[in-house]
Amino acid sequence: MIQVTRYEHPEFTSNTYLIQIDDHEDAWLIDAGFVDEVLQIPGIKVQGVFLTHDHYDHIYGLNNLIIRFPEITIYGSKYTLDCIKDARKNLSFYRQMPVEVLHLNVHVLQDGDLIFLHHTEQILCMETPGHNPGCMSYIIDKLLFTGDSFIPGHPVITKLKGGNKELNAISLKKIEGLIVQGMHIYPGHKEIYSNPELHQLKPLE
């Protein structure tokens, strides 16, 4: 049984998702914008964090996470893993709160990679560029984590540095093709969409 908990950053509104399987102490995160409450959970062992992209609001808590879990694996596209090291690239510099993450245990993801979580579940990693060149979306069973590549009911922002409208259109088609009945959508901002009507989930370009 997969349990997902959403934590919204009080200022940036970005979502961080905690994934727990059955009652195991091992856990994983999708993004790490706001980890304060995760760090308070007694006995939890966060094994890895899967980044949807490098923007500061999705990585702001990474360094605190690493202090608590020095062995943690950071997963992401090559672009994302490069940009988290550079405050100008991840845009945190321009918000007067530079975030630079220098961590050795990183795992570069390619489109279609499958990573085991706890030997029982797998996470499928998909490149969904457009909002940003390094964007990835993730699927575990019928749970779809889209970051800022798809927020139901909201157009994808492609105006930031590295954004690309054409790539975004291709990625939205890809995401649309993945949506099946009974799916739960966990976007990078806003609420979780549980068991939505499929027609409500047509991506906006």
| Residues making contact with Zn ion (CB under 5 A) | 55, 148
Q: Which is nearer to Zn ion, 9 or 55 (CB)?
A: 55
Q: In the beta sheet, which residues pair with residue 123?
A: 115
Q: Which is nearer to Zn ion, 117 or 135 (CB)?
A: 135
Least distance in angstroms from the C-beta of 141 to Zn ion: 25
Nearest to 133 by CA among 76, 66, 194: 76
Q: Which is nearer to Zn ion, 48 or 129 (CB)?
A: 129
**DSSP codes, 34-96:** --HHHHTSTT-EEEEEE-S---HHHHTTHHHHHHH-TTPEEEE-HHHHHHTT-TTTTSGGGGT
Distance in angstroms (rounded) separating the CA atoms of residues 1 and 91: 37
Q: Which is nearer to Zn ion, 27 or 83 (CB)?
A: 83
Question: Which DSSP state fits 174?
Answer: H
Nearest to 176 by CA among 190, 160, 196: 196
Residues 6+ apart with CB under 8 A from 119: none
Least distance in angstroms from the C-beta of 48 to Zn ion: 20
Least distance in angstroms from the C-beta of 148 to Zn ion: 4
Least distance in angstroms from the C-beta of 53 to Zn ion: 6
Q: Which is nearer to Zn ion, 127 or 148 (CB)?
A: 148
CA atoms within 13 A on the CB side of 102: 2
